[in-house]
Structures are given as structure tokens and as C-alpha cells.
Structure 1
Amino acid sequence: MKKSLFPRLALMAVLMAFVSACSEKQEYTNVIPANVSTVVSINVKSLVDKAGLNDKENKEAQQKLIDALKSGMNAATFQQVEMIMKDPKKSGIDVSAPMYVFSAEAFPYTTVVAKVSNEDDLHALLETLEKEKICQPLASGDGFQFTQMNNQVLLAYTPSVLMLTNYSGTTQLDKIKQAIPTLLKQTSENSVVSTSAFKKMQKMGGDIDVLFSPASFLGAYTSQLNFGLPQNINLKDMQILGSLSFDKGKISMKYENFTENPELQAMFDKQKKATCAIENSFLKYFPKSTLMYLSMGINGEEFYNLLLENQEFQKNFSISKANEVKELFGTFQKDVAVGLINVTMNNAPTFLLYANVKSAAPVQMLYEKKGELGLKRGEDILKLGENEYVYKSSMLNVFFGVRDNNLYATNDEMLYKSIDKAVNPSIKDTEFASNIKGKHSAFVINAEAILGLPVVKMLGEYGGTQYATAIALVDKVAYMEAVGDPNNNAEMVIQLKDKNVNALKQIVNFIKEFAGI
């Protein structure tokens, strides 16, 4: 009787699936442990393209570098290096895939991870490096090949992943060799790939993206900071996501908190209530030449409620003092703005402050309780008029008060005499003013205004090459701005004057000009 064909086909299908599974490359990111303290994603291809390294104008510089390398290498080695410089894919590394740098609790060594695209090409590269005495001869480990560089870096690889791990001493080296097989056997389910934080980091879309735990950086200080937080909050449950992007005319850095702890998320939600959207109420009072400008939208009552949950505040303030603090903070509503107006070599930096308040209670309280402030000899607070005061000392005078529910303070008498008077031109005429409105916090450094200061010009002229180079670099910047949104996320932008050329390419061009390339 003729045998059925189905069992044979089924057996063949199983064998094909088995072979396919055995030959399938492991996803290279699976080697990164789930409990990473830090992981950085670097889009090398994007950085190279944005830097313009492959542009025609940089071909000459690239050729000079190749020629310089030629003099110190034998013909075969140079041919290999030249081939890789002209086509990085020949290194065996997938340069189009992000490179990762990580450190973890389970593997506390700084490690670079890259995707292997061609094991034979990578092997050929390492053999070339061995001939040049850059690395030791290749050896076999448990499921991986490895070599060492300068007794500081262990390079291990498989057909899918390349790992470069920094170590110090033979003890660390042995531990790393023992741990690598475990990392190589990780699947996406038990690696960082499965975590929500890593998935969110990958969506940030920067040229460089970062995920790290503040607790790992703070180390022994973590417990001290936890001490000031509510009892059910632990900084180890918080992670920070960040990204760095180079765009046309600007460098952008983004930051946001991430947690899956409900109590910590609830604290973040309360922090949101303590701030509100900036209305730009005071822009017209600050000159366009203001050097630095800080603005926030404040909900004083909610800010005080946050303080109530702080253990240190609860311990150090009596009920009567707490009521005074509540009254003080509750007075502040909406915009608070502070500006650094001028800097000279002879006097203290000039500042100007405005804030929306419900009443004159803050300044009245300060004057009435001046005896409790610990003022030294020669210091005093004098009343100049209704809700107008001056703090006097041998070093400076600070004028402060409240007019039309606007609190003000300045250490410049001319500014004091023009309080509540609009100036022209003002900050509202700047490019960055429109970016501030609606944000919950903003900080701006006006690079153009700073370079216009006489003291800076003098440093550039007489301070030597170091100052001249620094000033030439800063001169390419229009302003630097950091803003916070309603969700406690932040973005910092370095806005360049040239908005048509990518910022990274401008940096490379400056370096080339400085180096005479």
C-alpha cells in the first residue's frame, strides 16, 4: 500500500523549522541585562551623515588621514584599513544599527554593544589588528570568540553581536569571561528589550538616546535624598530618559522622568499641580539685552502642599512657622521672572525680579520680622513708602516691594526708579520669547548679549588664544534655552545663528578651521 505523503512533509517541515531556529541570529540587544543602571543608544550612521563626513568637501581631509596611516603600516594592513575607511560595512559591523553602551547591576562594567553583519569580515579585521600588535591573538570562550586590547578591553563576539568591555585587573577579566555566556543566552523576554523604559527610549528618536537610574549615579547619597521624600517613595524606582539631536541650526536635548511605581507617579502628578503655564506677563519690563532670563508659572498653594509631604519640612517647622510659610507661598500665583541685566568688573551683577502675588504680605512679613533674620552690623531693611523697602549693606542695596500685585526686587537704583515701566526694545522682541509662553518653566542664556559685554570683548582681545577660541565658538550661538512642559518633561535647545546648516556639521567645520585642516 502506498504510504501517505503527509507524515514525510510534516517531518520535513519540523526539520526545516529546527534548522532555521538554530541558524537564526540572536538579536544583538538581548545581551543587555534588564536591570541596567545606564544604557546609551548611539546612531552612528546618523551622526556621520549629519557631520558631513561623507560630503565631497571632506573627502580631501579623509584622504589626508588615509595617507598619514599609510606610512606606519605594511601594505596588506593598509589595504584592509583603507577598504574599511571607504566602506565601514567591510569591518563586519552593521554601522546602520545603533551601538549601545551599558552598565548594569548584574554586569557592572562599561560595555559597548554592536551588531555583527559579517563574522568573516570582523574576523579579518581582528587578524589585521593582531598583526599590528593592537590586540592579542583570538581565543575561544564558551560560545564566543574573544581577544584583549592593552590589558584594558575584552572584545568578545558571536555571529550576531560584538561586545567591548572595559576591565581593570585579572580578577575582573575572569568575572567578565564567566558572565558573558549568560548574557549571550538571554532572550528578549529577560533582557532590557522587554522593559517599558527601554521601549520608550527607542522611540525618542535622537541621534543619541539615554536611559539611566539616578540612584546608580548618586550611590551612597541616594538614601540621604530618599530621607527627604515621602516614606513610600524610593529613587531606585525612577529612571530618566534623555535624547540628543543635531538638527539644522540647533542642538536639542530632551529629558523626561519614567516610573512604573504608582506612588512615585502620584508624586509627579502633584508636582505638575504646583506649576502653571507662563503667561509672559513681565517680558516688557526686561531689556532685550538681558543676559540670562528665568521664568516659571507658580501655583503657590499647591507648592506648599508639596512641602507638607516632605519629612524634613515636617521636622524643622513648627505649626506656627508652617502657617507663615503657607501664607507666604500661597501669595505667589502665576508668573515669576528673574533676569540678569548686566555684569561689570566693578560692581555686583545687576538683577531684576518680578512675580505675580495676591497681596503685599511677603514684603510686609520680611520687614516686620527683620529682627529674626540675623542681620549683621551695617545691614538693615528700611521702609521707603507703602509696600516699598530697601535692604542696605556696605556691599549693595536691594530695592523690593509690591505694586499693583506685582512683587519686584532689584539691586540697581535706576531699575528701581523705572519699576512697572515697559522698556523698548524688550525681551518680547526676541526670537525665544514665543517659545516661553505656555511652558511651565524656562531659562534662557542670551549668548549674543553676553558677547556684547565690554568685559567679554576685553577678554577676547587681551585674554590670549584660549579665550579668543572660546569666544569664536560661542559667537556661533544665538541663545541657549531650557523649557519645561506641563508633564515635567524638559527640553534644552542651543540655537545657532546659521539655521541652514546642521549643527553637528557646523561643529566639525569649526574644528577643521581651528586645526587648520
Structure 2
Amino acid sequence: MKFKYYIIPLLVSLMYSCGEGPDYTNVIPKNSAMVVAFDLDDMSEKGGLSGPDANEELLSKLEETVKSGLTGSEKLVSKIFDDTSESGLELEEKVYLFAGEQASVGGIVAKVNSRRKLEKVIDELCSQQICGPVQEADGCKWTVVGQWLLAYSKSAVVLAADNKGLEPENLVSQASMWLRQKEGEGFSASTDFKQIQQKDGDIVAWTTLEVLPREAVYPLTMGVSAELQLKDVKAISTINFEKGKTAVDVETIVDDKIMSEIMEKKSKVTAPVKGTYLDLFPSKTDLWVTANLKGEEFFSFICENPTVRRIFQSSLIPVDFKSIFNAIDGDVAMSMDRNGQDFIVFADINSDGFLKSFESLKTMAAMTGGQVVLKNYGDNGYSFRTHDGSLVGLRKGPVSLWIGVKDNKLYLTNKESLIDRKVLGLSLRNREWGTRVTGQKFFMSSNLSSLNKLLDLNHLNGTMASALAFFGGLDYLTVESSDGKNIHIEILMKDKEKNPLTMIFN
């Protein structure tokens, strides 16, 4: 196998950052909260590192880069670049990334095809003082590479680290236990692993809510029964790098009864999108999101969560939120500019009776001595202004809002000109994805081309510029769900003829 492959990322990570035996996948810990499988063989070919279209110039540059970090080891590097099996690793097999609960401990598992060759590579790294001397304990050999523990046996190698500050040496016992696991003892014996194996993708990621930090999960589960089992709320994401785009398919797998009931309720308060608002937004809209809501049922659903219910009940703005939601019945759409400042929301409604509640608020606003101003706007709307939004529970600083009904549609915006804006040219319906919106339970599009300006790539050079140039080459992102449960994501490149991996490796 020529090195027009994938050894580069692994070698570089070793620079900077245990013959035949048991199946190397047995090493993956049984209690993993996340497992990601990488098909490096396929990815290397798509990225121009192997196959008939291999980029020889790129390979040469990468080889020289590795050699420059391993002075005195040029012959070994050349040998590995010519034949990856000289690394001692079998990289035609998948490489696995794993993480435990709250991602406290994570690692990478790969197959060893020659412990002798692997040790030769490690000896070279040791001579460059990239890692420490190899030691032996509990039936495996190990060394430390930066903050990582590198442990190996005759069939597998694991590179592990603790993200809470535990010294790598303290992971030796745990790593040796993983390396000694037999058939049926590790994660590979689970039905979840079998599902990973059945998926066809460059990258396949199996995750559970257990992998997230508690502070991230808490807002999502607050008010939900304590009997909710985070490990039983799972997803399998399949990622494929295609010409001009990256496609991601996320399949949710919920074995927890409580979460299943919540998702079932959520499904009943939404309906397929009609595409009502595709024509009201110009094709170059930075961020656009749409869904179809049964407003009354939706409000009752979200208020089942005590945290959300308290937000509405304790709001400093005495608005009848329930009557507003009850009026919504159909498509809802929101747009926002690239700076996340100017926005507008439109919604189909069945009644404008909720606006009457704003009349009583005008008197209250008048009592603030000008700190809050609420007055009529047009025939069926109101404008709200305050010099300090924190007075009413909003962000600090000046705040202006307009809310009303026009053409049987609710509008809410912080920029007056957006209310009557006319689309003079192409609309969102004319976008490449415009025909995919109708019938979805959720659809979002985000313009990514502005990342080039945000990252200011012209003022960067070297490795950082190369890395960020990939983001500068992005065009737009779409996220859609036809059933409210499974999600399809596409990340499009400006250059529709190149595979994203080519951009990354370049």
C-alpha cells in the first residue's frame, strides 16, 4: 500500500501530541458514551493521498514536513510513506475514537499488524524526545506522548488521555485492562457497535447524551423525570465527503421511555411545512429557519418543562404569551443577518385578538417616564422602545421591537424596514434547496460564505491560514428533517468540483 494514504494525520499527532491476536475492536471500552469509526482508506483517496488521482506534490510536501520534525529519521519516514505497513499499523482497517461519560477519558484505537515495526517507530520518536522510553506493565507496553498515554499489545494500540488533568501514567492500568479485553467483553460486543458497522460512511459516529458535560445536559433535561436514562438517548451520524459537499445523516435511537414520550408529543404539535415564506425572503438571506406549528398545543408542550414555564411566568414584560401562541397555526419562519443582530419572524395565524392585550400595556409604559415607550404602529401593530432592555428582562442597551399583524400574518422584528421589504430579484424559493423545503418538519439554511470575511484570512499565513482557508471555502449549510426525528445536513463548498477532504489536506 502506498503512503498516498492516511498515515500522515496519525504520525503528525504522535509527533506533537500495545502479528495476529484478538480482534483490535475488543479494546474499545464497554462503557463508552461515544464511539466514532473513521474509514481512513476511503478518506485518503478522496483527499488526494492515494488512488489513481493521488496528488504527488501534496504528498511530497507532507513527507518533508514530517521529516523536518524527525531529524535523523528520514529513511524511516520515507519507508513509511512508501508503505504504510512499515508503521506497524493496519490502517486499511477502521480507526476508532472513543470517549467515556462526560468525555472524561477519551482515546483512539487502531489495529497493529507488526509490533516490531511499531516499536521501531516509537524508538525513533523517543530518540527525538517526542515520547518517553517504553515501559511494560500489566501485560502491555506503554509510553507517554505529551499529555497522551500510548499503550499497545501485539494486536492493538490505544492513545488515551484524561481531560480533567489526570497524568497519562495514571491511565496505564485502565489501558492495560482495555487491551486485555476478550471477545464479548468490550463495546464491540454490543448491538450499538453492530449498528456502527452496518453504516456506510467515511465517518460513523455513535453518541449518547452521557458524553455531554452535565452543565450542557442540565438545561435540556431540567424538569424532566429523574428516571430519564441519558445512555438510552442515542444517535448515529453518518458523514460522507462528496464532490463539492459534506453530507451528514443523523438517526436518533431513543430506548428511554420518558424521552420517547417527549418526542412523540413534539411530533404531534408540529406539521409538514407548506413553504409559505420562501417568497418573502431574498435568496441571499444569511440565516433562515422554518417550521409548521400548532401554536396552542406547542405552547402547552414547551410549558411542560418547568424552566420554560418559569421564563414566561416571570417575564418582566406583562404580555399574554399564551394568546400569541394560541393564534399561531401554520408555517413560521425567521431570518437573521450574519451578525446575529437584525431579525424578523413571520407566522401564519388564525386570529389577531391577542393584539388587544397590548392596549393595556400602553398605560403602564406611559408611567415609566419615557424609559419605555409603546405606541400604535400602522393599522394593526405596535412599536416598543427602551433605552435599556434590562429594565424589561431583555439584553442591556437600547432595544426597539415591532409586533403586529399584516395580511393575516404575525410579524415580530427589531428592524422596521424588514416588515414591508419586497423581494425584487430571486427569492429563497430559487435557491438550489428551495424545492426541498415543502413537506419538511424543519428546515434551516445558513450562508457560510461570510466566514471568509469574519476570519480575515488575508492577514494570516502558515499552518493557521491553511486550516482556516478550508472554512473560507464554505458556501452554505442546510439542515432538514422530514419527520422531526432524523436529520439530514449538507455543507456545500464554493468549489463544487472538489472534495472537501482535498481542501483540508491542502
CA distance in 1, matches of 2:65, 2:219: 53
User: Is 1:295 paired with 2:296?
Assistant: no
Deviations 1:32-51 (A, max 9, x none): 22211332222222222121
Match of 1:306 in 2: 301
CA distance in 2, matches of 1:104, 1:355: 42
CA distance in 2, matches of 1:40, 1:199: 13
CA distance in 2, matches of 1:291, 1:391: 25
Q: 1:136 Cα deviation (Å)?
A: 4.1
CA distance in 2, matches of 1:307, 1:389: 26
SS of residue in 1 equivalent to 2:299:
helix
Match of 1:4 in 2: none
Deviations 1:471-503 (A, max 9, x none): 976663332222233142333322123222212
CA distance in 1, matches of 2:236, 2:261: 19
Cα distance change of structure 1 residues 464 and 169 upon mapping to structure 2, 3 Å threshold? closer
Match of 2:476 in 1: 479
CA distance in 1, matches of 2:402, 2:426: 24
CA distance in 2, matches of 1:224, 1:273: 23
CA distance in 1, matches of 2:459, 2:109: 42
What is the aligned residue count? 471
User: Is 1:379 paired with 2:372?
Assistant: yes
CA distance in 2, matches of 1:197, 1:98: 16
Q: 1:59 Cα deviation (Å)?
A: 1.6
1:89-168 correspondence to structure 2 within 5 Å = 89-104=85-100, 108-144=104-140, 146-150=141-145, 152-166=147-161
Q: 2:67 touches 2:77 (CA, 8 Å); kept in 1?
A: no
Deviations 1:105-159 (A, max 9, x none): 5995322110112333323333444444444444433332x13134643322222
Cα distance change of structure 1 residues 133 and 485 upon mapping to structure 2, 3 Å threshold? same
Match of 1:440 in 2: 441
Counterpart amino acid of residue 121 in structure 2: L
Counterpart amino acid of residue 408 in structure 2: N
CA distance in 2, matches of 1:73, 1:197: 40
Q: 1:322 Cα deviation (Å)?
A: 13
Q: Which has the higher helix share?
A: 1
User: Is 1:426 paired with 2:427?
Assistant: yes
Q: 1:424 Cα deviation (Å)?
A: 3.3
Match of 1:6 in 2: none
SS of residue in 1 equivalent to 2:440:
coil
Deviations 1:412-439 (A, max 9, x none): 5444345xx6643222112122232222
Q: 1:315 Cα deviation (Å)?
A: 6.6
Cα distance change of structure 1 residues 201 and 270 upon mapping to structure 2, 3 Å threshold? farther
Q: 1:284 touches 1:423 (CA, 8 Å); kept in 2?
A: no
User: Is 1:360 paired with 2:352?
Assistant: yes
Match of 1:408 in 2: 411
Q: What fraction of aligned residue pairs are identical, expressed as a percent?
A: 25
Q: 1:460 touches 1:471 (CA, 8 Å); kept in 2?
A: no
User: Is 1:32 paired with 2:28?
Assistant: yes
Match of 1:58 in 2: 55
CA distance in 2, matches of 1:328, 1:497: 41
CA distance in 1, matches of 2:30, 2:485: 26
Q: 1:460 touches 1:468 (CA, 8 Å); kept in 2?
A: no
Deviations 1:399-457 (A, max 9, x none): 43223431123445444345xx6643222112122232222222222345x589xxx69
Q: 1:370 touches 1:381 (CA, 8 Å); kept in 2?
A: yes
User: Is 1:205 paired with 2:200?
Assistant: yes
Q: 1:31 touches 1:186 (CA, 8 Å); kept in 2?
A: yes
Structure 1, unpaired ranges of 5+: 1-22, 510-517
Cα distance change of structure 1 residues 142 and 71 upon mapping to structure 2, 3 Å threshold? closer
Deviates further, 132-141 or 239-248: 132-141
Q: TM-score, normalised by structure 1?
A: 0.77
Cα distance change of structure 1 residues 65 and 234 upon mapping to structure 2, 3 Å threshold? closer
Cα distance change of structure 1 residues 90 and 370 upon mapping to structure 2, 3 Å threshold? farther
CA distance in 2, matches of 1:78, 1:468: 27
CA RMSD between the two structures: 4.1
User: Is 1:496 paired with 2:489?
Assistant: no
Q: 1:88 Cα deviation (Å)?
A: 0.9
Q: 1:101 touches 1:111 (CA, 8 Å); kept in 2?
A: yes
Q: 2:374 touches 2:384 (CA, 8 Å); kept in 1?
A: yes
Q: 1:376 Cα deviation (Å)?
A: 7.3
Structure 2, unpaired ranges of 5+: 1-18, 388-397
SS of residue in 2 equivalent to 1:94:
coil
User: Is 1:329 paired with 2:329?
Assistant: no
Deviations 1:194-218 (A, max 9, x none): 3343333444433233333334422
Cα distance change of structure 1 residues 500 and 312 upon mapping to structure 2, 3 Å threshold? closer
Cα distance change of structure 1 residues 34 and 376 upon mapping to structure 2, 3 Å threshold? farther
Counterpart amino acid of residue 115 in structure 1: K
Cα distance change of structure 1 residues 308 and 260 upon mapping to structure 2, 3 Å threshold? same
Q: 2:248 touches 2:489 (CA, 8 Å); kept in 1?
A: yes
